[in-house]
């Protein structure tokens, strides 16, 4: 396995994690305390709502969950034919490219509302980002990089803590797992800072990062042309 391509893959995964960290920070703060990447939190919120406790609205929660599931489904259809065929199959890049569409539409709706969306627009925005994060999650999952999901940290912490106890992994594996956790923190911090200091431009960050990832992946992991 080429060290350079492994490094490139890991950097792209870290970048996607920064993007999803920013997405969740922005959606949680600006879209009614609902996550668009971290579905575990939304399931917990839904349980609290059913129990009559203080929690986000059911429609908002279900919108994010349903959109995420649809994104996973579509992305899986796109990448499944080439799953396991390489370190970063072309179809993974295609799926991430399709996920840029809801990112762009999200930004358009956000700018149109001057960063202060109505309740109906909030549901649309939650659906758009939930869909994008679902597509990203499914695309990354097919890469089969152990412990890496880019949209959730729980499994990564489990892998990292467990491997530190057993110490069976290589230094590169531990660095990759720790890097994802740091990236998620950086993304959430950056998203929060943008909301505070440049509210209207906050969603630009995850979009720009995602575009950069797709462009880089298309270049670095370009599949060789088959000879005639």
Check if the beta carbon of residue 105 is closer than 8 Å to that of residue 128. yes
Residues spanned by the domain of 209:
9-220
Provide the pLDDT for residue 81. Answer: 82
State the total domains in the chain: 1
Q: Where are the alpha helices (DSSP H) in the chain?
A: 3-30, 39-50, 58-79, 90-112, 119-141, 154-166, 171-197, 204-220
- Output the pTM of the full model: 0.92
- Is it the case that residue 227 has pLDDT exceeding 70? no
pLDDT attached to residue 129: 98
- pLDDT, tens digit (0-9, with 9 covering 90-100), for 119-158: 999 999 999 999 999 999 999 999 989 888 898 888 888 8
Return all residues near 91 (Cβ < 8 A) that are at least 6 apart: 78, 79, 81, 82
Residue 130 and residue 102: Cα distance in Å, rounded?
9
* Rounded Cα gap, residues 93 and 90, in angstroms: 5
Over residues 172-179, the mean pLDDT reads: 87
Give the pLDDT of residue 1: 58
- Is 66 exposed, middle or buried (CB count within 10 Å of its CB: 0-12, 13-18, 19+)? middle
**Cβ neighbours of residue 119 closer than 8 Å, sequence gap 6 or more:** none
Q: Are 135 and 98 in contact (CB under 8 A)?
A: yes
Would you state the pLDDT for residue 170? 72
Q: Which pLDDT belongs to residue 156? A: 85
Cβ atoms < 10 Å from Cβ of 119: 10
What value does the mean pLDDT take over residues 163-181?
A: 79
Above 60 in pLDDT, residue 41? yes
User: Looking at residue 198, what is its pLDDT?
Assistant: 97
4 assigned to some structural domain: no
Per-residue pLDDT tens digits for 79-100 = 998 765 688 999 999 999 999 9
Q: Which residues, in sequence order, are CB contacts of 92 under 8 Å at separation 6+? A: 79, 82, 139, 140, 142, 143, 217
How far is the C-alpha of 34 from the C-alpha of 60, rounded, in Å? 7
Percent of the chain at pLDDT exceeding 70 = 94
- The CATH number of whichever domain residue 63 belongs to comes to 1.20.1250
CB atoms within 10 A of CB 13: 22
């Amino acid at each position: 396995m080429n060290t350079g391509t492994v490094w490139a893959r890991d950097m792209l995964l870290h970048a996607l994690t920064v993007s999803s960290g920013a997405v969740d920070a922005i959606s949680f703060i600006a879209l009614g305390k609902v996550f668009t990447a971290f579905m575990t939190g939304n399931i917990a919120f839904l349980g609290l709502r059913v129990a009559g406790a203080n929690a986000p609205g059911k429609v908002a929660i279900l919108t994010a969950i349903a959109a995420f599931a649809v994104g996973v489904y579509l992305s899986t259809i796109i990448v499944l034919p080439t799953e396991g065929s390489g370190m970063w199959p072309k179809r993974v890049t295609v799926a991430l490219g399709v996920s840029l569409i809801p990112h762009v539409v999200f930004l358009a709706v956000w700018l149109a509302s001057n960063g202060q969306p109505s309740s109906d627009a909030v549901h649309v925005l939650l659906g758009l980002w939930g869909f994008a994060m679902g597509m990203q999650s499914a695309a990354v999952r097919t890469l089969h990089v152990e412990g890496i999901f880019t949209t959730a940290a729980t499994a990564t912490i489990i892998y990292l803590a467990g491997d530190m106890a057993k110490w069976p992994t290589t230094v590169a594996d531990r660095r990759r797992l720790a890097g994802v956790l740091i990236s998620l923190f950086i993304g959430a911090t950056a998203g929060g800072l943008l909301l505070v200091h440049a509210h209207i431009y906050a969603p630009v960050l995850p979009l720009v990062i995602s575009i950069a990832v797709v462009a880089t992946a298309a270049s670095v992991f370009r599949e060789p042309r088959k000879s005639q």
